Amino acid sequence: MYATDFEYDGFSLSDYGMCLCSFNSSGIETLSSGADISFHTVRPVGSDRFYFYGSKYEETYTAMLQICKNPCRKGTPYLTPEEVSTLQRWLCRKDGFHKLKFLSDNYIDIYWNAVFSSKQINFANQVVGLELTIYTDSPYAFREEHTIHYSLRPGETFTLYDVSDEIGIIYPYTTIISHSSGKIILKNEMENSSTATKVESVSQNEKITLDGKNKLITSSIPTRSDLPSKFNFHYPCICNDFQNRNNIFTLSADSVACDISFTYSPIVKVGI
């Protein structure tokens, strides 16, 4: 990746008069790109062949980068103690993960949830930059969150193409607004299950929110207390396998017409 600037928690490196750099000129380097998978195999007794029986991500994504003062700006290239303190107050925090984006054309819609640790880079007893280690909350990056809207009548279908690089399932943030009173049954043909998402006894214009990530369901009707008993706790999901990314959703013929929105961040496997 080529970039000279990044944005972290809403502030950019250039806001502090800094830029990305490299203090070594060795040239080629090998970096993780969000695909560090551990594979588990077993060899049966009396056989020379190993059989695959599982895989998993062992660690979250980490990377290292260096920053210095922007050489295009006038003044000393060295960092004062106050400048080091200001940078580390911004980057090296203990309040949790924040969005990290690199301001490069090819990475414009890609982000990581990250925290930083920092070390000073000294030359001739002066601070010339900082070496930053990035720690993220997952093994890969994400594309910017986007929302897809559909308006369905009973029996209608729609197709959602999953652009995620990771084969598997993502649970989106789903909202459903019913056009009339009745029930809502939504099925995704990509799932390896005959179970559909089912919410009964919805009212006209009621907004049902299904937070699949945190496994929560809420209603726009604050006094509705029977919602958990009217929901089958099967949250809508977006999924793909190696050969198929098309999620075909169907609203059952005995459902009420409704507006449906999916909000999610597709997974992307790239390195910094």
Nearest to 150 by CA among 22, 17, 248, 40: 248
Supply the pTM of this predicted model: 0.80
3-state secondary structure the chain: CCCCCEEECCEEHHHHCEEEECCCCCCCCCCCCCCCEEEEEECCCCCCCCEEEEEEECCCCEEEEEEEECCCCCCCCCECHHHHHHHHHHHCCCCCCEEEEECCHHHCCEEEEEEEEEEEEEECCEEEEEEEEEEECCCCEEECCEEEEEEECCCCEEEEECCCCCCEEECCEEEEEECCCEEEEEEECCCCCCCCEEEEEECCCCEEEEECCCCEEEECCCCCCCHHHHECCCCCCEEECCCCCEEEEEECCCCCCEEEEEEECCEECCCC
- Tokens coding 45: 């007794």
Low-confidence ranges of the chain (pLDDT < 70): 1, 25-58
Burial of 46 (0-12, 13-18, 19+ CB in 10 A): exposed
- The span from the CA of 39 to the CA of 53, in Å, is 8
pLDDT of residue 29: 44
pLDDT of residue 28: 39
C-alpha 134 chain-centroid distance? 16
Q: Give tens-digit pLDDT for 20-66.
A: 998 875 443 434 444 455 555 666 666 656 665 565 556 788 889 99
